[in-house]
Amino acid sequence: MHGFQLRVAYQGVPGAYSEAAAGKAYPNCEAIPCDQFEVAFKAVELWIADRAVLPVENSLGGSIHRNYDLLLRHRLHIVGEVQLPVHHCLLALPGVRKEYLSRVISHPQALAQCEHTLTKLGLNVTREAVDDTAGAAEYIATNNLRDTAAIASARAADLYGLQILADGIQDDSSNVTRFVMLAREPIIPRTDRPFKTSIVFAHDKGTSVLFKVLSAFAFRNISLTKIESRPHRNRTIRLVDDANVGTAKHFEYMFYVDFEASMAEVRAQNALAEVQEFTSFLRVLGSYPMDMTPWCPSRGDHQVP
Ligand SMILES: O=C(O)C(=O)Cc1ccccc1
């Protein structure tokens, strides 16, 4: 970056996976810890940071729905993505043994990703959710908690002086989280490397709307990599009157779709023009380079500076 260090806001404290994702996307960046995602978004909106990092889906737990809602509430643009192999460790204060533990704390995603392994380790513990994995490690160290372990990265163990009681405790060794990078301005889409585009749309009146939308991509040989629906926040219920029978109530949905094409391609522009005909609302969240880094599941957080 020639003297200019990109400032990347993430939710959590140093040692969080989001910090590692920031480092993978922007190797020499200054990663800025934030209490909450809202704060990370605000940091970008107020020019305190240049990018925000947001985890959006996980190979074990699926979509992180709250974060999809955040994308819609804010006006930031997706400018990149990172897929990060997530390698969880069980951390405790030095000298603490597994038998002493009565509680494990971590980010809800991390707790869910280690559910079966925790049981297999024979731990008789309650699980408690906190805001981020590294924050859980810091909390144990700061409060000298000898009955509590955290699920977090090996880097968090280093940073907060904890020992690793068990390594690689995710239920599936190919545990990957996908993060998106957000900026105030969109990037200019290109065609010289694989791009992905993320959109969100809402139903319009009519039948088979989803089928029509999806066919706009299918007829142009554009592959979808993701489709997700979320209840529409402001218009949750649609009432359909049938004079003879009564009133049917349906949920209304927002659909999130990722497809493998760049908005610089005419076929993508045509597909979206068609989608617009069938939808009451359509927003391009971003068109950005796909993460094409080679797959290496076992090393996880150790590989990121
Ligand atoms: O809490 C963290 O470290 C995060 O960055 C969120 C998270 C939690 C679990 C897996 C991947 C990301």
Tell me the per-residue pLDDT of 147-161, one tens digit each, with 9 for 90 and over. Answer: 999 999 999 999 999
pTM: 0.90
101 and 66: one domain? no
- What are the tens digits of pLDDT across the range 120-132? 999 989 999 999 9
Catalytic residue at 179? yes
226 plus 78 within the same structural domain:
no
Residue ending a domain, choose from 183, 212, 234: 183
Domain region containing 210? 195-289
ipTM of the complex: 0.95
User: Do residues 199 and 277 both lie within one domain?
Assistant: yes
Q: Does the pLDDT value for residue 300 go beyond 50?
A: no
Residue at 64 is within a domain: yes
Do 71 and 179 lie in one domain? The reply is: yes
Atom of ligand 1 nearest to the CA of 179: 12
Residue 276 has pLDDT above 90, yes or no: yes
pLDDT at 298: 46
Rg (CA), the chain: 22
Instruction: Give me ligand 1 centre to Cα 173, in Å.
Output: 16
The atom of ligand 1 lying closest to the CA of 11 is 5
Q: For ligand 1, is residue 83 a contact (CB within 6 Å)?
A: no
Whether 179 and 63 map to the same domain: the answer is yes
What percent of the chain has a predicted confidence (pLDDT) above 90? 77
Measured CA to CA, the distance from residue 294 to residue 82 in angstroms comes to 12
Quick check: is 305 in a domain?
A: no
28 & 72 share domain: yes
Q: Model confidence at 235, in pLDDT bands (50, 70, 90)?
A: low
Contact present, 162 and 94 (Cβ < 8 Å): yes
Instruction: Flag whether 189 is in a domain.
Output: no
Q: Is residue 267 in some structural domain? A: yes
For residue 222, the domain's CATH number is 3.30.70.260
The reply to whether 72 and 179 lie within a common domain is yes
Q: Catalytic one among 41, 179, 195, 259?
A: 179
In a domain, 295, yes or no: no
Concerning whether 41 is annotated as a catalytic residue, the answer is no
Number of domains in the chain: 3
